[in-house]
Amino acid sequence: MSLSNSDFDQYIHTIYPPELDIKDTTDSTTSSSYLDLLLSIDANKKLHTKLYDKRDDFDFHIVNFPFLDSNIPSSPAYGVYISQLIRYARACTEYTDFIDRSKILTSKLLNQGYQSDRLIVAIKQFCGRYIDLFGKFGKSVSQFTNNLL
């Protein structure tokens, strides 16, 4: 991934093997997607990151989280929620991006039969165990919970 590097095409084949099909994902001279991140540089030359999921561009519903009425125990299903919150917090530099992605996930899981009280317990576990990740947003646990639900 390279932003504002007009010479990158000259060196791409010395960096990556020929078997790897490299696609240009540059959205503009100040933003580009790379793996599951959207990277952008603001007017002050500060780098911002947020989650990029190409499935959001599809015009159909994709099932990508466990349903509680399947044969898996419920505890690991709620663990998926925590693991996704960790992933989102690591990927997002701004609280608005983190909360937007977290709201989508929370809504999807509630629609799939997850219990809101157990999601709240999971939110508190996330905030308590990953203080460094959650703390960077400067929000309280109750603010975060209220924003999500």
Structural domain spans, the chain:
8-51, 65-148
- pLDDT higher than threshold 80 for residue 23: no
Lowest model confidence (mean pLDDT) among 19-28, 46-55, 78-87: 19-28
Where are the alpha helices (H) located in the chain, listed in sequence order?
8-15, 74-91, 95-111, 116-129, 131-135, 141-148
Mean pLDDT, rounded, of the chain:
84
Token output for 62: 């994709």
Residue 36 near residue 76, CB atoms below 8 Å: no
Residue 106: pLDDT band with limits 50, 70, 90: very high
More confident residue, 24 or 101: 101
Token output for 28: 């503009």
Lowest model confidence (mean pLDDT) among 21-25, 50-54, 104-108, 130-134: 21-25
Alpha carbons 59 and 72: distance in angstroms, whole number: 29
Residue-level pLDDT at 25 = 61
Residue 29 exposure: Cα atoms within 13 Å on the Cβ side: 5
Tell me what the mean pLDDT of segment 70-80 comes to: 85
